[in-house]
Amino acid sequence: MTDIAGKFIVLTVTHNETRIWATGIEKGTKPEKIHAPEKADRRHFRLDPNIKGSGEQHEAGIYLEKIAQAINGAGEILLIGHGHGKASEMMHLIQYLERKHPLIAARVVDSIDTNLDAMSEPEILAIARKWFEEYRHFAD
């Protein structure tokens, strides 16, 4: 993984994959990717007491921990995700970081909810650049 110590990074997270832009948000910048364990790729949730879900929870925890380790050391983190409630992997990541890695969670400067499935990487970077320009203008 690219050295991210103190850098502004952009992270998109879905159930299947996390993309991390750690080398900048300029046009054409390519992300590094973390893939979810195969069984963690679940798009539905059942609250059936007869079905054991501990294996899925363990795999999801492994996925979230891989993400946490990859972004540890970043200066500022912009999260981009989609979904609502239990279907929002971005919210799962935020909650995981708050519980297990509060120092990393404190570096999350914002989260943007958008339809990632309908967006290309250049469109995601355009959102990040627009956010960064507004954030930097607001901070000055």
- Strands 17-21 and 32-35, by their bridges, are antiparallel
**In this structure, what CATH number is given to the domain that contains residue 21?**
3.30.420.60
Please count the other Cβ atoms lying within 10 Å of the Cβ belonging to residue 31: 19
N-to-C CA span, the chain: 31
Residue 83 inside a domain? The answer is yes
Answer yes or no: are the C-beta atoms of 118 and 127 closer than 8 Å: no
User: Count of domains in the chain?
Assistant: 1
pLDDT tens readout for residues 16-68: 999 999 988 888 899 999 999 876 445 544 444 444 454 556 778 899 999 99
Q: Is 1 part of a structural domain of the chain?
A: no
Q: Model-level pTM?
A: 0.82
Q: Is residue 2 part of a domain?
A: no
Q: Note whether residue 102 is domain-resident.
A: yes
* CB within 8 Å of 25: residues ≥ 6 apart: 8, 10, 125, 128, 129, 132
**Residue 70: which domain range?**
8-43+53-139
Instruction: Classify residue 98: in a domain, yes or no.
Output: yes
**Better-scored residue on pLDDT, 71 or 135:** 71
For the chain, what is the mean pLDDT? 85
Q: Is 111 among the domain residues?
A: yes
Residue 40 has a pLDDT of 44
pLDDT (0 to 100) of residue 37: 86
What is the total residue count of the chain?
Answer: 140
CA distances from 10 to 41, 50, 106 (A): 22, 39, 15
Rounded Cα–Cα distance for residues 59 and 40 (Å): 6
